[in-house]
Amino acid sequence: MPKFRSPSTSEPSRRSPFEGADADSPRHDSLPALKALDRRSFLGLSLGAGATLALTACGGQSTSAAKSDGGTLKWGWALPTSWDPVTSSAGWDVHALSLVYAALTKLDPKGVAVPALAKSWKYNDDGTVVTFTLRSGETFSDGSPIDATAVKKSLERGRDYEKSLVAAQLIGVEKVTALDEHTIELRLAAPDFQIPALLAGKTGMIVNPKVLEKDAASLSTKPAGAGPYTLVSYVENSKAVLRRNPAYWDAGQIKTENFELHPLPEPSTVVAALQSGQYNVAQIPGSQVKAAKAAGLEVQVIPSMVVAVLDVHIGKKPFTDPDVALALKYAIDREELLKTAAFGYGEVTRQPFPSGYAGHDDALDKLFPYDPEKAKELLAKAGYADGLKITLSAQKAEGVPELIQAQLKKVGITATLEAIPSDQATQIVYIQRSKALYVDQFAGRDSATQAFQVLFGEEGLMNPGRTTSSELEKALDVVRRTPLDAPEYPEVLQKATGIAVRTMPNVFLYTVPRILARNPKVSEIPAYTVVQRFEGVTVS
Amino acid sequence: MRVLRLTWRQRSARIALAVLAVVAVLAVAGGAFAPDDPLAQHPADMLQGPSAAHLLGTDYLGRDVLSRLIAGTGLSIAGALEAVAAAMLLGVIPGVASVWLGRTVEWTTQRAADTLMIMPFTVFAIAVVGALGNGMHQAMLALGVLFAPLYFRVTRAAALGLKQAQYVEAAELMGASRWWILRTHVWGKILPTIAVTTAQTVGQALLVVSSLTFLGLGVQPPAPTWGGMLASDLGYLAQQPWAPLIPGAAIMITVGALNLLADAIRDSGAPTADELGKPPRAEGTAPALVTEDREPLNSPETQGRSANRATPSEDPELPSEDHANAAATVARTHIEQPEEAEHRVTTG
């Protein structure tokens, strides 16, 4: 149900009388909200869905400092579950949130942490204390300064807020201290060299403490950060309108004045929507690449951290028997899934990291070859020689789940497909943990240990069994103690990957590259592996 | 029955029935006619055009489209019939009851029907499926509930006129039981009206069932349905731009046949030109049915009208004006209904 929300309906009284005269601000600002009232939204209203409409959208930001070329980038991608980085419940949200928040660090195209709000950082020799030096003179989009106190408040909220979903990442941060205005020190419970990479994502996004103190609940629809853009208006499930933030520390690199973020387009209409100008950049499935190219659109296939995976709940029958869980790994023909469902875009994989990433070990891809006979043997050993009935859940039962169903049939597993409404999927699968087998995609994480935590950790969101192996925990401890630039880092990380792949039930299937189709008027999109960024992108 | 006899005499009706017979045979014994296993995947041959091996080509998993189309007939039709049967049960009985069982029942059933009429189809179906679990029967029951007001109104409109027919009143005075009157005088006359409504509603239900499977409600993959096939074909327009036409044609032909049949039944139930020549019928009575809900039933005006009606209605075997009126109401309802259904579906 569309709900109309505007970031600033609660504060019209704060607007100074001068603002009305300032340029064409009110008129200009209300335009996107008006546009948002398309036919569907109107029909939505007519359904009497309790939609509330506010036309008085006002970003309140002067745009006089803009140095951009103008233009509007319309990205058909996904809207976040929440605009609050701490309560957002999907890993995927990091892309949208990176538009409105700046973090202490950011990841370069290869996934290495580089300076952002922090211009540098330094570890002590043990790896138990890390000190970040902030850029001076930076401000949030409302003008308040980004100093060490603000960073401290923001990080502590992520760690301590009871509804925080990033708390597990920050559990090792014992103490945050503002040494002076621009220096902040993180004292860790144990050596952990992953912190700078971790703080590039949602965990390290700095939220304006003024808003935190005043009205933290409003963050879910009104982000308060210091990112490349500020949110002008937001219609849930429909679109978010953003405007360039001249106060962003790297604003010189942000070339497009306006930005619109849209939900993931329908595969059947995405090419037409790109042609008509509804979007000028959009994520498309492999099946649409041919159509997009035929329509004169540019198509970029950007390697990403996303991996298709089968989540196995080992606390639920029949997967309580390790042989049944293992049989799945042999029963699935990953090549067929890749060729048929993904049209060959991506690579088959048995591990959570794509090739080229430090944690990827080529040797692991030789494990678990497609071997229906072996799967049958394992099932027979577990006492299911005569067959086995399971339920296979997915957000969309069509495609990959249908293929997996047919493949499982060949080893004697009769799977019933079950579709889960996508807006409840996280809740049902990962929080209530009520599904035994679920087809999903892992979005990747900013730091390697964070990825391990989410996939395999005791509190890992995507580990429905919520069990882990002590061997893996030990290996991860070594990973944390190894500086990212140390020569042995890839080796220790790969060792942990190996243990996870061998001991954990998750069935990794194939990598999912980010396929972006764009209007030729939009310049090339930089190929960031982890989080898509738009530095330097122009729209002519 | 005279109406059915008249219907059969029309060529369009015979064509429609022939088409529906074929559909019915496929629905019942589709599996036997399917040249291939409708669920067998051949990923190597996916999205192939028509060939000797696959007369209508293959889908995105290399399954034979012809086999899926034939095998999907049963589920698609069964779903539509289930919804219509539920609607009939929930609509016809309260419809008759609202006329004969006193004011409380009348008021309650009418308000209930009004309430259901404002519910949007798809949203309601999604809510029911959410509450009762995602399955064919739940979704169809939800649809049936939403179709019920149509039957309710049509039945009530048809029965209301009969209630004050003189021969009914006469039978009441003679001490005939309510049940006897319903059986002898009422049932036979509202049946053609219900038949027309049913032909139309099945067509609509088929479309809505298709759109529900289109949304992933009701039937779950890999079981084939026409709507489901249409939905998945739309994802591969670049590879097979013509593919959605195949399930689309199946839906269109079936719905078209049902509409033809409905037209034919309505035409047969309508008064002949000869009967239309008689003066008292043309004026007044049709509006009476539209406004009936607001008028006290025993107002002098209404009574006067029923007195006027008495002549043509006397012989229960003849198609009375009430039929004509009911048919007119049905026709009117149907002009609005498809729009409404479409509107409801798109808003979901």
8 Å CB contact between A452 and A472: yes
Q: Which of A388-402, A460-474, B268-282 has the lowest mean pLDDT?
A: B268-282
- Pairwise CA distance, residues B226 & B38, whole Å: 13
**Which pLDDT value is given to residue B299?**
42
- Pairwise CA distance, residues B89 & B83, whole Å: 10
How distant is the Cα of B345 from the closest Cα of chain A, in angstroms? 11
Q: Are strands A118-123 and A3-5 parallel, antiparallel or unpaired?
A: unpaired
**Which pLDDT value is given to residue B33?**
83
CB-CB under 8 Å, A417 with B234 = no
Q: Is residue A503 part of a domain?
A: yes
- Pairwise CA distance, residues A132 & A176, whole Å: 11
First to last CA, chain A: 34
Output the CA angle A173-A178-A179, nearest 5 degrees: 115
Give A-chain residues touching B235 at CB under 8 angstroms. 267-268, 285, 287
Nearest-CA residue of chain A relative to B61? A340
Which amino acid is present at A166?
Answer: V
Q: Are strands A129-134 and A113-115 parallel, antiparallel or unpaired?
A: unpaired
CB-CB under 8 Å, A287 with B238 = yes
Percent of the residues in chain A that have a pLDDT greater than 90, as a whole number: 62
- From the list B39, B41, B123, which residue is nearest A47 (CB)? B123
| pLDDT exceeds cutoff 90 at A297 | yes
Tokens standing for residue A442: 């892992």
| pTM score of the predicted model | 0.75
- Residues 339-368 (A) with a CB less than 8 A from some CB of B: 339-340
A271 touches chain B (CB under 8 A): yes
Model ipTM? 0.70
**Which pLDDT value is given to residue A58?**
38
Between A and B, how many residue pairs show a Cβ–Cβ distance under 8 A? 65
Pick the CATH number of B1-38+55-273 from 3.30.300.10, 3.40.50.2300, 1.10.3720.10, 3.30.365.10: 1.10.3720.10
Kindly report the backbone phi and psi dihedral angles of residue A446, in degrees, each rounded to the nearest multiple of 5, phi listed first. Answer: -70, -40
- From the list B123, B222, B238, which residue is nearest A288 (CB)? B238
- Pairwise CA distance, residues A42 & A20, whole Å: 29
The conformation of residue B101, written as its DSSP 8-state character, comes to S
B234 touches chain A (CB under 8 A): yes
**Which pLDDT value is given to residue B270?**
56
Bridge partners, A115 (sequence order): A105
Give B-chain residues touching A421 at CB under 8 angstroms. 130
Determine if residue A257 is left, alpha or beta; phi over 0 gives left, psi from -120 to 50 gives alpha, anything else beta: alpha
**Which pLDDT value is given to residue B5?**
79
CB-CB under 8 Å, A419 with B216 = yes
- Pairwise CA distance, residues B7 & B268, whole Å: 6
8 Å CB contact between B144 and B158: no
| B80 Cβ contact partners less than 8 Å away, ≥ 6 residues apart | B202, B205, B206, B209
Give B-chain residues touching A285 at CB under 8 angstroms. 235
Bridge partners, A241 (sequence order): A233, A260
Q: What is the mean predicted confidence (pLDDT) over A181-189?
A: 93
B248 touches chain A (CB under 8 A): no
Report how far apart, in Å, the C-alpha atoms of A112 and of each of A2, A136, A300, B9, B40 are: 38, 23, 22, 80, 46
CB-CB under 8 Å, A267 with B347 = no
How distant is the Cα of B135 from the closest Cα of chain A, in angstroms? 10
CB-CB under 8 Å, B61 with A419 = no
The domain limits of chain B are 1-38+55-273
Which amino acid is present at A405?
Answer: Q
B123 touches chain A (CB under 8 A): yes
**Which pLDDT value is given to residue A11?**
36
**Which pLDDT value is given to residue B318?**
41
| pLDDT exceeds cutoff 90 at A500 | yes
CB-CB under 8 Å, A402 with B238 = no
Q: What is the mean predicted confidence (pLDDT) over A295-323?
A: 92
Report how far apart, in Å, the C-alpha atoms of A481 and of each of A125, A454, A493, B122 are: 11, 19, 11, 55
A185 touches chain B (CB under 8 A): no
Report how far apart, in Å, the C-alpha atoms of A223 and of each of A74, A152, A164, A217 are: 19, 18, 16, 10
Q: Is residue A242 part of a domain?
A: no
CB-CB under 8 Å, B134 with A418 = yes
| A187 Cβ contact partners less than 8 Å away, ≥ 6 residues apart | A128, A129, A173, A174, A175, A176, A177
8 Å CB contact between A230 and A242: yes
Q: Is residue A282 part of a domain?
A: no
How distant is the Cα of B294 from the closest Cα of chain A, in angstroms? 27
- Pairwise CA distance, residues A435 & A310, whole Å: 11
Per-residue pLDDT of chain B (348 residues; tens, 9 = 90+): 666 777 788 888 899 999 999 999 998 887 788 888 888 888 888 888 888 888 888 888 889 999 999 988 988 888 888 999 999 999 999 998 888 888 899 999 999 999 888 888 777 877 887 787 777 788 888 888 888 999 999 999 988 888 888 888 898 898 888 888 888 888 878 887 888 888 878 877 877 776 776 666 777 778 888 888 888 888 888 888 888 899 889 888 988 888 888 888 777 765 444 444 444 444 434 444 444 444 444 444 444 444 444 444 444 444 444 444 444 444 444 444 433 333 333 333
Give B-chain residues touching A287 at CB under 8 angstroms. 60, 235-236, 238-239
**Which pLDDT value is given to residue B281?**
40
Give A-chain residues touching B120 at CB under 8 angstroms. 47
The total number of structural domains that make up chain A: 1
Q: What is the mean predicted confidence (pLDDT) over A141-159?
A: 92
CB-CB under 8 Å, A417 with B61 = no
Beta-carbon neighbour count of residue A2 at 10 Å?
22
**Which pLDDT value is given to residue A233?**
94
Which amino acid is present at B230?
Answer: L
| pLDDT exceeds cutoff 90 at A467 | no
Q: Is residue A324 part of a domain?
A: yes
8 Å CB contact between A260 and A273: no
Nearest-CA residue of chain A relative to B62? A340
Give B-chain residues touching A340 at CB under 8 angstroms. 43, 46, 60-62
Give A-chain residues touching B347 at CB under 8 angstroms. 40, 43-44, 46-47
CB-CB under 8 Å, B236 with A402 = no
Q: Which of A51-60, A211-220, A286-295, B22-31 has the lowest mean pLDDT?
A: A51-60
How distant is the Cα of A511 from the closest Cα of chain B, in angstroms? 19
CB-CB under 8 Å, A396 with B238 = no
SS3 content of chain A, % helix, strand, coil (to 5): 35, 20, 45
How distant is the Cα of A401 from the closest Cα of chain B, in angstroms? 9
Burial A121-154 (b: 16+ CB within 10 A, else e): bebeeebbbbbbbbbeebbbbeeeebbbebbbbb
B303 touches chain A (CB under 8 A): no
How distant is the Cα of A47 from the closest Cα of chain B, in angstroms? 7
Length of chain B: 348
Range of the domain at A467: 307-511
- Pairwise CA distance, residues B224 & A420, whole Å: 19
pLDDT tens-digit readout, A525-538: 999 999 999 999 99
Which amino acid is present at A225?
Answer: G
B117 touches chain A (CB under 8 A): no
B41 touches chain A (CB under 8 A): yes
How distant is the Cα of A10 from the closest Cα of chain B, in angstroms? 30
CB-CB under 8 Å, A40 with B221 = no
CATH of the domain at A479: 3.10.105.10
CB-CB under 8 Å, B43 with A339 = yes
